Chains A and B, each alone.
Chain A
């Protein structure tokens, strides 16, 4: 079964850091691009970042550029999002999603991990 399982969410103070992870199974991880998409409470979906299969190509939303870093470890079938200088507006459910490339078409999603930024 193709599966993505996010972890690492939690409550953190503004300005602090947090790393969320996504464990993949049931497919050849290094054949696909991977993305992070978030949904703030009561809001819509927002693309956060994407990474190509070999980590050569990476993209970020303007809202997180310079603060968040996406990475992957193909040997561990894992995707990561390092989030620094967190702000209240980063509070959201963070989903990882699998895609054929960096152009989108997210065909498998995880259940999400909640990140709350609050003092």
Chain B
């Protein structure tokens, strides 16, 4: 159960787009379409932003999108806004009733 690999930080100016990657293996990301992304503001509960690779829960702006290619999943935030500044975590099902998170990416809106 090794953690998925995310870049520690990402940044962009308001209105720009930024993509956060999440790299795993064929035993997790590559093997299942159960990748999800969470937004976490310090002191608050994490919030589901994307589930099953590319689906958006009700209420999540369509500026947030997800995709997957091979063993790497990606979260793209378009039209960056100040309130998007937060920590973002990916997660994947890893088989045998196990799940794994990425190390997290701190998104800074410049």
Do the beta carbons of B93 and A103 come within 8 Å of each other?
A: yes
Interface residues of B (CB under 8 A from A): 1, 3, 32, 34, 36, 38, 40, 44-48, 51-52, 57, 87, 89, 91-93, 96-104
- Tell me the total A-B contact number using a CB cutoff of 8 A: 71
A104 / chain B contacts, CB cutoff of 8 Å: 34, 36, 51, 91-93, 99
Do the beta carbons of A47 and B46 come within 8 Å of each other?
A: no
Do the beta carbons of A62 and B40 come within 8 Å of each other?
A: no
Nearest B-chain residue to A62, judged by Cβ: B1
Do the beta carbons of B46 and A61 come within 8 Å of each other?
A: no
Do the beta carbons of A47 and B36 come within 8 Å of each other?
A: no
Q: A44-B104, A45-B101 are in contact. Are A107 and B51 (CB under 8 A)?
A: yes
Do the beta carbons of B102 and A44 come within 8 Å of each other?
A: yes
Q: In the complex, what's the smallest C-beta–C-beta distance from A95 to chain B, in angstroms?
A: 7
Most chain B CB atoms below 10 A, which of A44, A63, A95: A44
Do the beta carbons of A59 and B96 come within 8 Å of each other?
A: yes
29 contacts between A and B (CB under 8 A): A37-B101, A44-B101, A44-B102, A45-B38, A45-B91, A47-B91, A47-B98, A47-B100, A50-B97, A50-B99, A58-B97, A59-B97, A59-B99, A62-B1, A63-B1, A95-B46, A102-B99, A104-B36, A104-B91, A105-B34, A105-B48, A105-B51, A106-B36, A106-B38, A106-B48, A107-B48, A109-B45, A109-B46, A112-B45
A31 / chain B contacts, CB cutoff of 8 Å: none
Do the beta carbons of A107 and B57 come within 8 Å of each other?
A: yes
B47 / chain A contacts, CB cutoff of 8 Å: 109
